A and B are shown apart, each in its own frame.
Chain A
Amino acid sequence: MNIPSEIGSHTKLAEHAYRIRRYALQMGEVQGQGYVGQALGYADVLAVAYCHAMSYKPSDPEWEGRDRFLLSHGHYAIAFYAALLEAGVIPEDELETYGSDDSRLPMSGMATYTPGMEMSGGSLGQGLPIAVGIALGLRLKGNPAFVYNSMSDGELDEGSTWEAAMGAAHHGLSNLICLVDINNQQADGPSTKVMGFEPLADKWAAFGWHVQRVNGNDLPAVIAAFDTARNLQEARPRVILFDTLMGKGVPFLEAREKNHFIRVDPHEWQQAIEILDQARGAV
């Protein structure tokens, strides 16, 4: 079981986040594609979730006492597998099967394939309503575990998200924590242009949620937000809105024209990994 570590552990978490980024790039290289821009942007949040906040047993992904983590944005699977590798749920040598035929690591996340994957994503906007049911079920069983729903900003467009937001508040689900990756990117362009959702914090608050909005690439801020969400003594659901930078940690990808699929040329995978490695040495 993972024991939450003390505050001030962000150098340790930076190391975890570095490895999550590295794993994601390695998997991207295997397939020559993948949502690595998203993975790099979201790595800090996943590091804090899996290496600081959550309770689970790597060897027993179905342990009844575990905190549930729903990857609603199934296309972030590459990021999530990287976190599962770092958490020890998936063995490292499986990384190179990513996206290959008959792998346990398909390109879009599915519960039926991967240990530690709690839902089959891909059809966006389904995680939060599932989380409502899990939270109700946990509460009914007297199980003190949390359910985390991790979602993308594109999923804010779906009506199902707001149906669930209303339902979670109505039922006072204090065991539900929603994590939103605001990378300002969707399939057709910047989220702000595809479907404006601001003022976002106000919307969640109006729906009855405890709201925090932080820079998702600022580790101490991410840690503090998770701690606040978990320790809050209020009978309402909590949401953390993370503003993130796609490609974070690899400057040439951070600077590249933003796209749902960030372009990575074949020779650039190794280059990106080297840049990560150097930056880590410099810390």
Chain B
Amino acid sequence: MSTTAKKPRLTTSAMIASIASEGQRVKAAPFGKALVELAQQRADIVGLTADLAKYTDLHLFAQAYPERFFQMGMAEQLLMASAGGMAKEGFIPFATTYAVFGTRRAFDFVHQVIAEENLNVKMCCALPGLTTGYGPSHQATEDIALMRGIPGMTIIDPCDALDTEQAVPQIAAHAGPVYMRLLRGNVPLVLDEYDYTFELGKAKMLRDGKDVLVISSGILTMRALEVAKALESDSVDVGVLHVPTIKPLDTATILAEASRSGRLVVVAENHTAVGGLGEAVATALLTAGVTPPFYQIALPDAFLDAGALPTLHDRYGISTEAMVTAIKGWLG
């Protein structure tokens, strides 16, 4: 870390970070709005947070249904365990905090209270992967790995506002615990251009391509679509398979697409290379004897730096430019 470098100043994105790039189409608070709408039809929905309603868009629910909203204070173990308790009484609790705290801080409570009894708690956790420049304390780079290790956990990694709002009623309808990575604030709107609907448990081809198949989740699907457009000018044909449900994995669709010959397979995720979508897909492919050329775009197995998000996305290879460069390199 040098102290002398003088570069144009990029501000560190704080708790209020938005992952939308300039001029991008966005939708405000898709999670909060979808939950309010769902709660009109379902009286069993309750909302709980650990001093982060405003930062998870749950404040909209709190305003609409004050009697069904419970502020648990900044106490994530209480948040998850009490959500479990409410589920035992027949409610469907939506519990929100940041992804780091919902997983790391509350892990044993999620595991023992919620998952082991297959309770109906929907954990919606913001700042997934590398979406803040605050350093490891706020960067949830291994949340999926942790949650994948829990039997029976359903894991959702939405790409954009459309994915998010469509996922809300479906995760409520699903019986059992769900961990959803939450995009909050002004969330990019991307998938409406692709004749797409979110279906829990389903991977979906967003565009076909004969040279490269990118299998991705979360905001890296948004990036993969940008990469595909960028590589058109190099006459590289990139297909994108979006996998918003990480667990249970839609192995059938993944195998069908990955076994088409002549394509490089690249798994792209906003998560450490350890224990996420990349390893899940690799296991599925090897187990089925499907062995295309295979590459991973993921965060390194390291504690990441603090700094401005664009800088960090470049540094760790998940910016559109970095992904284009990597894929071109692999194509040779």
A residues adjacent to B (C-beta < 8 A):
30-33, 74, 94, 97, 99-104, 106-108, 110, 112-113, 120-125, 154-155, 157-159, 186-188, 193-195, 260-261
Contacts and interface: CB of A to CB of B under 8 A. Distances in A.
B74 A125 contact: yes
A195 B74 contact: yes
B54 A187 contact: yes
A110 B137 CA distance: 9
Nearest to B104: A123
A61 to B, nearest CB: 15
Contact of B51 (A99, A102, A108, A195): A195
Nearest to B98: A123
Interface string B116-144: 00000000000000000111111000000
Contacts of A99: 11-12
Given A106-B12, A106-B134, A121-B137, 14 more contacts: A32-B11, A100-B12, A101-B5, A102-B2, A103-B3, A106-B306, A107-B134, A123-B101, A124-B74, A125-B74, A159-B78, A188-B49, A194-B74, A195-B51
Contacts of B104: 123
A122 B135 contact: yes
Contact of A110 (B77, B133, B306): B306
Contacts of A100: 7, 9-10, 12, 307
A194 B73 contact: yes
7 contacts: A30-B9, A100-B9, A101-B308, A106-B306, A122-B135, A157-B74, A186-B74
B138 A108 contact: yes
B135 A157 contact: no
B17 to A, nearest CB: 11
Contact of A107 (B12, B59, B105, B303): B12
Given A33-B14, A107-B12, A188-B49, A94 B3 contact: yes
Given A30-B9, A194-B73, A108 B135 contact: yes
B73 A31 contact: no
A124 B77 CA distance: 13
Nearest to B312: A101
A110 B134 CA distance: 10
A31 B74 contact: no
A229 B78 CA distance: 32
B307 A188 contact: no
A107 B14 contact: yes
A88 B60 CA distance: 46
Contacts of A122: 134-138
Contact of A120 (B7, B12, B136): B136
Contacts of B1: 102-104, 113
Contacts of A108: 134-135, 137-138, 306
Contacts of A74: 137
A104 B2 CA distance: 8
B268 interface: no
A194 B78 CA distance: 14
Interface in B1-46: 1-3, 5, 7, 9-12, 14-16
B100 A159 contact: no
B52 interface: yes
A101 B10 contact: yes
A127 B329 CA distance: 45
B295 interface: no
B311 interface: yes
A94 B55 CA distance: 31
A158 B97 CA distance: 14
A103 B305 CA distance: 10
B125 to A, nearest CB: 14
A120 B303 CA distance: 12
A194 B7 CA distance: 40
A130 to B, nearest CB: 14
Interface in B65-107: 71-75, 77-78, 100-101, 104-105
A-B interface, 7 closest residue pairs, ranked by CB to CB distance from nearest? A122-B137, A195-B73, A157-B73, A106-B306, A157-B74, A101-B307, A108-B134
A106 B3 contact: no
Contacts of A159: 75, 77-78
B159 interface: no
B85 to A, nearest CB: 16
B53 interface: yes
A31 B12 contact: yes
A125 B51 CA distance: 13
B52 A188 contact: yes
Contact of A101 (B75, B100, B311): B311
Contacts of B12: 31, 99-100, 106-107
**Interface hub of B5, B50, B51, B71 (most chain A Cβ within 10 A):** B51
Contacts of A32: 11
B11 A187 contact: no
A263 to B, nearest CB: 12
A187 B52 contact: yes
B269 to A, nearest CB: 23
Contacts of B51: 154, 157, 186-188, 194-195
Contacts of B3: 94, 97, 103-104
**Interface hub of A102, A124, A125 (most chain B Cβ within 10 A):** A102
**Interface hub of A30, A104, A121, A122 (most chain B Cβ within 10 A):** A122
A276 B146 CA distance: 48
Contacts of B74: 124-125, 154-155, 157-158, 186-187, 194-195
